[in-house]
Structure 1
Amino acid sequence: MIPYRMRIFLFIIFTFFSLQSCQKKTSNTPKPKNTKPEIEEAILTADRFYSQKEFDSAFFYYNKLRSICNPVTDSENYITSLNRMAEIQQDHADYTGSENTIKEVLPYLKYAKKQSQIWSTYVILSINYLNTYDYKNAILYNQKALRLQTEEWRKLAARNNIAVILMEEGKYNEALQIFLSLTTKKEVLNNDEFQNKALDNIGFCYFKTHNPNEALLYFNKSLEIRQRKNRPFDLGKSYLHFAKFYEKSNSALAKEYMLLSYEKFTAANSVEDRMSSLELLIKNTSDQELRKYATKYVNIVDSIFEVRQKVKNQFARIKYDSKREREENLKLKSQKIENELQIERQENRNIISYIIILVALSLVVILYFYLTSRANRQKIEATYQSETRISKKLHDELANDVYHTMAFIENKNLSIAKNRENLLKNLRDIYSLTSDISKENCPLVANKNYAASLNEMISEFNNSETNILTKGLDTILWSEIKKNKKVAVYRTIQELLVNMKKHSSATSVLITFKKTNKNILIIYVDNGKGIDANQVLTKNGLNNIENRIFAINGSIDIDSFPDKGFKVFIKFPIIR
């Protein structure tokens, strides 16, 4: 059988852990979504469309990839997607849109693990600045690309770009020195495309710096490589430079090169360069031919403007729709997070409430255990004191009387009437003392029969030698008085009567009871021997009386002198 206290304690522990279990169940949050499969699918789809030159679809999926990737933890895919998007916009002459796209990368380049990605970002940005005539920034970003720890061919490409920008600024001598240095590098000599571009640009710089012989030499070297590779765009570039070279010295030959360049740029579908060829033809023709080339030029301008505008709008719409969708998702996520925070705050308040309840219950249990334990200790202590006092009385009083009686029987002749009377008197005294001790230790009646019990106890001390009177006992409503006070009164009067019988030889005793508005007064008077009031505290009986009265917030006053009787005035409050 589990003790009652232990059952309470186990119940509290069970309640606490049940609450904790419920709390854990409600506090489970969903795991972050795994976006890796979605990212891999977007990369494959975007790269496939890019390789097939379906740039609108490629742009869409690269933009989707950009929105899925975390720019910090997945910087590689994030930077790649934006670089490709900017390249597509750049190829469609949307240089401002390309610049805005590529600038989204810049804050996250510090997380890039591959220097080649940073190099691509800088080069794309520099080309945008070049085509929007911001030559200073175009050179700046190529210089940044040069400082990166990348392959040698990337460094050479950045230097080549700087030289091209210098050509656009008209700084042909500076550009020429860079191009000449490039032609000594094995990476350039081993790459026909790189080499023929460098040679063609060197020839153009010599042409612009009025060195026609050198210009023609390098033009021919470049053309020889390009004719061998037979790439329309590269051939168109060489023919265009030959047309400009012969424009003033041999107009017929210049016109032939203009037409050849126009033909090659048309085959390469290079609209910008085809317009450059038409501009030269318009400038160097007249009459019907001028009208024909001008019409072609205007048609190309109109069509290219319409196409580019559509492409710009398409790319802008893709980015806008993605941005709006992302903002809506962020709004939904923020609402979800706010809801989760509110739930978490409520859960935290619940936890605090549970803790407060647990602490309160624990304090109640501890207080209950403490009070119960203290009551048990007090009960044990009271029992011990009572047993000690009874033992002392049995030893000091009853044992001595029994011993003297036994000695009297042994030494006296009981056939003599006087001796028999003394023996009977001694036996009555022993019986009376035994009765007193028994009554002192017995349970006290403190209910509605209290007055009768008190009166009965007093009457037992009344005999032929001592007359005891009570006054006002029945005038007090004892049911209004607390039990502990009634017990104290009972024991106090009993102690006074025991002392009177043992020590005072009184023949008359009067005990008066009075009630005032708030107090009970008890006056004890006998005509016995009396005592010295200065020695009252040394008497154990009177000391016990004082302790009982003080315990019920009462007061006691003793008035006695030797041979002048004994008086005790007792007062205690009814309520307090």
Structure 2
Amino acid sequence: MIKNLLRFFQKKIILFCLLIICLIIAALFFVRFSETKKQQKKLPKIDLSIKIKKTLEKAHVFFDAGKYDSAYFYFNKTQLLCDPKEDYADEYVGSLNYMVEILQRYGNFYEAETNLIKAFPYLEKTSSKKYAINAYTFMAFNYFYTYNNEKALYYHRKALKTAISTFRKARILSEIAFVYVQQKKFQEAKDILEPISKYKIVDKVTPSNTNIVRSGMLYNLALAYIGLGNHKEQALKCLDESLELTIPYNNDFELIANYFGYYLYYSKYYNPELKKFYAEQSYHAAKRAKSAGNEIDRLADLLEMDKAENAKKYWEIYTRKNDSLYLSRKTAKNQFADVIYDSKKDKEENFELKNQKAERELQLQRQKNRSYISYVVISLSLFVILFLIFYITTKGKREKNDIMLKSEMRISQKLHSELNSNIYETLLFIQDYNLEDKCNKEKLLNSLNSIYSKTRNISRENSKVLTDDRYVGALKEMISEYKTQNVNIILNGFDSIPWNKIDKNKKIILYRILQELLFYMKKSNSSSLVSIITKEIDKNLVIYYTDNSNEITSENSILEKRLQNVENRIETIKGTINFDANSESGFKISFKLPI
């Protein structure tokens, strides 16, 4: 009683100490955090709006002139000047969007995604929905270019939910339909584009975009019609209207797609001459637009369908262009990598404009706070770990000793109950009878042999059960020990069971159950025949045990104990047991356990 009280108070004291330590750490952390917040509030704010505006103007000038490396440098410089948590969220997100567009042109999709992720936390702080729409759209393009169409659709849909104007929604729906076309979901693309293509939706902010977007919408609808088939007239009508809207802009880059649409159309509805004609038109438009990638793709189309004499000519051009494109892209990529590197180096200069001295002091203070907290957390963690190790080790030893004591008591009781009378009778026999007599000597040997057999059985009942490949052999050997001249045991199905698939714990439980049943069978001394059948049914191991006992009835205490022990073991492995209480021909029981 006193020991239990001491243990209780010890546990309470330990918990109390841990609570006190946690409260002290929380108080110190709160004080440090408050000091850091005060220092942050004291930092003087610098008006960078003029600097940001001028840098952004330079970036737009270079972007409009097609000098993307310089544009990227100044867009990056702009976003470094901005502090989106406090102000300039529009300039910050807008600059990152332009940087992403440039990165995608150069095929640097990993860097593009990194920049978009930086913009996402500040989309709600921007003054216009267009920043969020552009960010989601660029992320969709990024996934589309990297062949992840499902992610592309996800971000297009986010852009669609964000969009307010009808024109922006129509443009996003057209882009969603284009992804469906690439997935060969032509019916879904058609269902999206047909309703909105019936109306001319105007861009009220930039009216010049109206016809370009409608041209792209009709082109995508034509691709859906071509993919579906049986829409010959509708597809041609869409292609004609799309081309008619594109021609006034005198934009060869847009014409590449228009002519390519005709090439696909006449490939679908077999017309070799027109197919070749529009393949050449698309190739020449790509050539005029100086779009090397499209030029090579169109050359590949011409090679696929042209005659041998022209194929050689196109093949020479194709090889030369392909090599040239590879070198130019490699050079551009290296130059652009230098621009990104130089832009990152410029970061230090921009931070100096944001009160470099105050920022460094704040960083040092933050580092001290992190170090202090780390030391406290590590110390507390070590203390808790040591306490847990000590507690678990002590508890484990105590439980192990309890288990050993219970096991020893059980074995002792069994030895006493089963061997006490035999040993006593044997000792009396030795005292009362002449052991020189051959008959008496034979009886003594039989008595000693009986004591040995019982001792060996008790030892086996408490010994380790093999669960490896030798399991079935050990199981059969255990069963055979209960076979005598008067008791015949029949086994069936043991060799057909996949024992290696059965859990070790379940094997041990099965071993002990059969041992339990056979022990009580032998103890009742009323059976002459035992049958044990094993089957695998629906991923379950089913065991049928039958003996022809004639002394065990439902009121018998031996039967109750026999069933209770088996039932307890079965429950531990979530098995089921079925006992035939109405059997007139002996004891019948079956149990099932999952494999």
Write the distance in 2 (CA, Å) between the matches of 1:97 and 1:339: 27
Write the distance in 1 (CA, Å) between the matches of 2:218 and 2:363: 66
Corresponding residue number in structure 1 for 2:140: 126
- Closer, same or farther in 2 for the Cα pair 1:250/1:67, shift >3 Å? same
Given that residues 93 and 308 in structure 1 are in contact (C-alpha distance below 8 angstroms), is that contact kept between their aligned partners in structure 2?
no
Given that residues 179 and 202 in structure 1 are in contact (C-alpha distance below 8 angstroms), is that contact kept between their aligned partners in structure 2?
yes
Deviations 1:290-334, CA, capped at 9 Å, x for gaps: 233233333333333333333333333333343345369879758
Write the distance in 1 (CA, Å) between the matches of 2:108 and 2:317: 23
Corresponding residue number in structure 1 for 2:169: 155
- Closer, same or farther in 2 for the Cα pair 1:215/1:141, shift >3 Å? same
TM-score, normalised with respect to structure 2: 0.49
Write the distance in 2 (CA, Å) between the matches of 1:278 and 1:71: 48
| 1:275 shift after superposition | 2.5
- Closer, same or farther in 2 for the Cα pair 1:286/1:135, shift >3 Å? same
Given that residues 103 and 109 in structure 2 are in contact (C-alpha distance below 8 angstroms), is that contact kept between their aligned partners in structure 1?
yes
Deviations 1:263-314, CA, capped at 9 Å, x for gaps: 1122223333223311210111243422332333333333333333333333
Deviations 1:541-567, CA, capped at 9 Å, x for gaps: xxxxxxxxxxxxxxxxxxxxxxxxxxx
| 1:187 shift after superposition | 0.9
1:242 and 2:266 matched: no
Corresponding residue number in structure 1 for 2:88: 74
Give the aligned residue type for 2:275. A
| 1:192 shift after superposition | 2.1
Q: Secondary structure at the match of 1:133?
A: coil
Give the aligned residue type for 2:252. P
Given that residues 133 and 163 in structure 2 are in contact (C-alpha distance below 8 angstroms), is that contact kept between their aligned partners in structure 1?
no
Corresponding residue number in structure 2 for 1:86: 100
Write the distance in 1 (CA, Å) between the matches of 2:102 and 2:286: 20
Given that residues 116 and 150 in structure 1 are in contact (C-alpha distance below 8 angstroms), is that contact kept between their aligned partners in structure 2?
no
Given that residues 262 and 277 in structure 1 are in contact (C-alpha distance below 8 angstroms), is that contact kept between their aligned partners in structure 2?
yes
Write the distance in 1 (CA, Å) between the matches of 2:65 and 2:246: 26
Write the distance in 1 (CA, Å) between the matches of 2:336 and 2:262: 38
Write the distance in 2 (CA, Å) between the matches of 1:87 and 1:94: 10
Corresponding residue number in structure 2 for 1:219: 239
CA RMSD between the two structures: 3.1
Corresponding residue number in structure 2 for 1:38: 51
Write the distance in 1 (CA, Å) between the matches of 2:213 and 2:359: 55
The partner residue of 1:275 within 274, 279, 296 is: 296
1:47 and 2:71 matched: no
Corresponding residue number in structure 1 for 2:578: none
- Closer, same or farther in 2 for the Cα pair 1:51/1:228, shift >3 Å? closer
Deviations 1:182-221, CA, capped at 9 Å, x for gaps: 2123316983222222222222221111122332232223
The partner residue of 2:215 within 196, 206, 218 is: 196
Corresponding residue number in structure 1 for 2:181: 167
Write the distance in 2 (CA, Å) between the matches of 1:220 and 1:52: 32
| 1:230 shift after superposition | 4.0
Write the distance in 1 (CA, Å) between the matches of 2:43 and 2:215: 60
Residues paired across the two proteins, number: 316
State the identity as a percent: 28
Deviations 1:100-144, CA, capped at 9 Å, x for gaps: 322221222232222110111111111111111110111111100
Matches within 5 A, 1:317-332: 317-326=338-347
Deviations 1:39-84, CA, capped at 9 Å, x for gaps: 1221121111112221111111111111111122211111111111
Q: Secondary structure at the match of 2:99?
A: helix
Corresponding residue number in structure 1 for 2:320: 299
Write the distance in 1 (CA, Å) between the matches of 2:251 and 2:359: 57
Write the distance in 2 (CA, Å) between the matches of 1:306 and 1:213: 43
Corresponding residue number in structure 1 for 2:153: 139
Write the distance in 1 (CA, Å) between the matches of 2:157 and 2:279: 35
| 1:35 shift after superposition | 2.5
Corresponding residue number in structure 2 for 1:357: none
Given that residues 193 and 217 in structure 2 are in contact (C-alpha distance below 8 angstroms), is that contact kept between their aligned partners in structure 1?
yes
Deviations 1:515-556, CA, capped at 9 Å, x for gaps: xxxxxxxxxxxxxxxxxxxxxxxxxxxxxxxxxxxxxxxxxx
Q: Secondary structure at the match of 1:186?
A: coil
Corresponding residue number in structure 2 for 1:63: 76
Give the aligned residue type for 2:72. F
Write the distance in 2 (CA, Å) between the matches of 1:254 and 1:281: 10
Give the aligned residue type for 1:202. L
Corresponding residue number in structure 2 for 1:261: 282
Write the distance in 2 (CA, Å) between the matches of 1:52 and 1:153: 27
Give the aligned residue type for 1:315. F
Q: Secondary structure at the match of 1:147?
A: helix
Deviations 1:373-415, CA, capped at 9 Å, x for gaps: xxxxxxxxxxxxxxxxxxxxxxxxxxxxxxxxxxxxxxxxxxx
- Closer, same or farther in 2 for the Cα pair 1:129/1:341, shift >3 Å? closer
- Closer, same or farther in 2 for the Cα pair 1:318/1:258, shift >3 Å? same
Write the distance in 2 (CA, Å) between the matches of 1:237 and 1:149: 27
Given that residues 59 and 315 in structure 1 are in contact (C-alpha distance below 8 angstroms), is that contact kept between their aligned partners in structure 2?
no
Corresponding residue number in structure 2 for 1:110: 124
| 1:339 shift after superposition | 10
Given that residues 225 and 235 in structure 2 are in contact (C-alpha distance below 8 angstroms), is that contact kept between their aligned partners in structure 1?
yes
**Which ranges in structure 1 are unaligned for 5 or more consecutive residues?**
1-28, 343-576
Given that residues 89 and 95 in structure 1 are in contact (C-alpha distance below 8 angstroms), is that contact kept between their aligned partners in structure 2?
yes
Q: Secondary structure at the match of 2:201?
A: helix
- Closer, same or farther in 2 for the Cα pair 1:318/1:221, shift >3 Å? closer
Q: Secondary structure at the match of 2:162?
A: coil
Given that residues 190 and 221 in structure 2 are in contact (C-alpha distance below 8 angstroms), is that contact kept between their aligned partners in structure 1?
yes
TM-score, normalised with respect to structure 1: 0.50
Write the distance in 1 (CA, Å) between the matches of 2:363 and 2:220: 64
Write the distance in 1 (CA, Å) between the matches of 2:94 and 2:259: 36
Given that residues 188 and 194 in structure 1 are in contact (C-alpha distance below 8 angstroms), is that contact kept between their aligned partners in structure 2?
no
Q: Secondary structure at the match of 1:93?
A: coil
- Closer, same or farther in 2 for the Cα pair 1:168/1:217, shift >3 Å? same
Write the distance in 1 (CA, Å) between the matches of 2:172 and 2:180: 13
